[in-house]
Structure 1
């Protein structure tokens, strides 16, 4: 029997919420009907649409699971993501100004992971269907860069060459300034004939680099990315900001927070997203647990012109955070931890009393946990800026400005 409900809000994953029921593809204020199935309302029909309901710009939206909220207006999505941050802060009792969301444009995602499977007639590549392992071809995807959108034939060719009959390849493709950087996992074990075939595909499709599991197959040209005045060649599969727009936005915000600091610590530094741009005006010490990413950062710094000194340190900041005596020499710190946050390192930062901290986060929940620790230790949270690099998804990033309270008061 069909049930009619009114949607109260969007949940964390982009589903409409009505009481204790989740309704995919519904928007706040809408009256919808459907068939209850546990805590889901299936076979949903919109009886009274929201003014924020729009026609999805991508023809694959209804079937593809890559995007969750293309049916909502840009204003609605931006407000929802800002609200996620505001709610997380409120739950922890942390007060701050939350700025309007800054959103990357469509067709700007420079990395995507395609699923590619062999078929009886060849192969197919695309994204997984919504809540399914089925693969949906997405030739007209409006999320990724035009170059990535045209890379499905390459992924299919890799599947024909090296996928097993039982499973799909995971083909991670990054659009570098020098061409596509491709990392494949889940394929057949390499042998001589497969290496030769894959090397030929690397040439035929003009790939910058092709890596199969952990082995480099071919590199026609090192795939590089601009980070400030430097060009960096990350190791295969290394973390990068999802869009150039997002990287530039985050970098500008971090620069604004750090200001005139002359000695900056970059924690969870990756390949140098923040360390290298900041080195234009400050000496930077970059700390990261992945040795290969730090080597890429160091290589980019050494080949760049006009940058101040950048030093690197390989260190697991979860197990061995920098201690107060090591932190004391820095004017400002940048911290960009993974989704788990950085509780151990934040605890040491509160003891060191570094004047300024720029916190970059991909998880509002762990961010507010760490923010509360800093605020309880005497820091003020000046502002929080939501950043939406993962357009039409449930993912939210942010940048936050922390200053010791007496420093904030001096600046007023």
Structure 2
């Protein structure tokens, strides 16, 4: 018999022996662990619930469906709180926002050919076994409706013994499908794939880095603008979560006439912010800045957006370059933006809206800003990755 003392940031239960980590358990539960590693819940927690998805036991896509929504919300907020406490930061937290089920607008599925046909789904936890998930509760109805088309695509794109990745994005004009495979693309296959996209009403079909066909632009709505992102380009996981982050960013920057948007992507924040402010948008990937620039030029009523393609890790904006801006929006990758934060701290900028998908690097960067005289006014946790350990944060920093 073992007692679960708490959870790691990945949702694994810490057993009272100080060494063992167990999946899908909750603090306070007594469990019995068989020699084969199977876990039996002897005394369940009051926060334990029946998993809403029938695939939960076999699929590795979700980690926390056995816990109540209230428990998961508190646990995720505590992950952020602990990361900040490790840097001796104790901010005010705003109420957490959680995206609903059936709202994930992008997912990467695995596909295999089998003796009986094909298999489409997610990997089992810690395994290369593909588990079919026809009743998945994560992805949008459009993505679920595309399952038959994806299954029909597997024999075309997958070798007999290989596995392919199928990244599917919900767009205004139908599914946007990116194929990751080691199979050779022949001229005959290219023609077959183009016909396939037309038959199955795919907005766009991409083979590795090559666009096979675009039937209709795979657009995403960002404020009043319609953006066509490059295949596989970063998007916030749900439109619902994106709206929550945007509302917070707009509140923080509401008095700014000129805003610089760092790690701007395809315009998640820049395009909506341009309804009220001029924006200078900076991103390291040229195809993303090109998509943003095109969307701005094609949208009436927006204030000026200037574009800069720049590697902010190797060449961050310098302190004097912030002199012409009233506020900064920064949404770096998981590694954070240590070099850029240092130059921000040395600048005269007074308002920063920071978005982060990594509480640890967020806390590190927050410490640097606070040491330079910024006040961390509040933090809001946004859970776009329902039933997973992942968490998003948006925060307001100001200084006199």
Question: Shorter-normalised TM-score: what interval?
Answer: over 0.9
Which aligned pairs between 1:91-106 and structure 2 lie closer than 5 A?
A: 91-106=86-101
Q: Give the Cα–Cα distance (whole angstroms) in 1 for the partners of residues 5 and 96 of structure 2.
A: 22
1:17 lines up with 2:14 in the alignment: yes
Which aligned pairs between 1:120-131 and structure 2 lie closer than 5 A?
A: 120-131=115-126
1:268 lines up with 2:263 in the alignment: yes
1:328 lines up with 2:327 in the alignment: no
After superposition, give the CA deviation of every residue in 1:21-62 in whole Å (9 maximum; x if it has no partner): 21111001111111368xxxx211111111110010100000
Aligned to 2:217: 222
Of 62, 66, 70 in structure 2, the residue corresponding to residue 71 of structure 1 is 66
| Post-superposition offset of 1:167 | 1.9
1:247 lines up with 2:246 in the alignment: no
Q: Give the Cα–Cα distance (whole angstroms) in 2 for the partners of residues 132 and 151 of structure 1.
A: 25
Say if 1:288 and 1:294, in contact at 8 Å, map to a contact too. yes
| Post-superposition offset of 1:120 | 2.2
Aligned to 2:157: 162
Q: Give the Cα–Cα distance (whole angstroms) in 2 for the partners of residues 172 and 302 of structure 1.
A: 29
Question: Which consecutive aligned stretches of 4+ in structure 1 deviate over 6 angstroms post-superposition?
Answer: none
Say if 1:114 and 1:155, in contact at 8 Å, map to a contact too. no
Q: Give the Cα–Cα distance (whole angstroms) in 1 for the partners of residues 53 and 142 of structure 2.
A: 17
Q: Give the Cα–Cα distance (whole angstroms) in 2 for the partners of residues 147 and 339 of structure 1.
A: 28
**Number of residue-to-residue matches in the alignment:** 398
Say if 1:173 and 1:181, in contact at 8 Å, map to a contact too. yes
Say if 2:157 and 2:181, in contact at 8 Å, map to a contact too. no
Aligned to 2:388: 393
Which aligned pairs between 1:168-183 and structure 2 lie closer than 5 A?
A: 168-183=163-178
Alpha carbons of structure 1 residues 36 and 252: separation in structure 2 relative to 1, 3 Å:
farther
Q: Give the Cα–Cα distance (whole angstroms) in 1 for the partners of residues 368 and 118 of structure 2.
A: 51
TM-score, normalization by structure 1: 0.95
Q: Give the Cα–Cα distance (whole angstroms) in 2 for the partners of residues 72 and 89 of structure 1.
A: 24
| Post-superposition offset of 1:9 | 1.4
| Post-superposition offset of 1:130 | 1.5
Contiguous gaps of at least 5 residues in structure 2: none
Aligned to 1:30: 29
Q: Matched residue of 2:393: which SS?
A: strand
Q: Give the Cα–Cα distance (whole angstroms) in 2 for the partners of residues 363 and 99 of structure 1.
A: 18
Which aligned pairs between 1:43-62 and structure 2 lie closer than 5 A?
A: 43-62=38-57
Q: Matched residue of 1:284: which SS?
A: strand
Which aligned pairs between 1:269-288 and structure 2 lie closer than 5 A?
A: 269-288=264-283
**More divergent stretch after superposition (310-319 vs 145-154):** 145-154
Say if 2:241 and 2:382, in contact at 8 Å, map to a contact too. yes
Q: Matched residue of 2:165: which SS?
A: strand
Contiguous gaps of at least 5 residues in structure 1: 407-412
Aligned to 1:203: 198
Aligned to 1:151: 146
Say if 1:139 and 1:150, in contact at 8 Å, map to a contact too. no
CA RMSD, aligned part only?
A: 1.1
After superposition, give the CA deviation of every residue in 1:168-223 in whole Å (9 maximum; x if it has no partner): 11100000011000111124121111111111211121100000011111111001
Which aligned pairs between 1:83-94 and structure 2 lie closer than 5 A?
A: 83-94=78-89
Say if 1:82 and 1:100, in contact at 8 Å, map to a contact too. no
TM-score, normalization by structure 2: 0.98
Q: Matched residue of 2:194: which SS?
A: helix
Say if 2:257 and 2:326, in contact at 8 Å, map to a contact too. yes
Q: Give the Cα–Cα distance (whole angstroms) in 2 for the partners of residues 58 and 361 of structure 1.
A: 29
Q: Matched residue of 1:92: which SS?
A: coil
Aligned to 1:366: 361
| Post-superposition offset of 1:118 | 1.3
Q: Give the Cα–Cα distance (whole angstroms) in 2 for the partners of residues 43 and 68 of structure 1.
A: 16
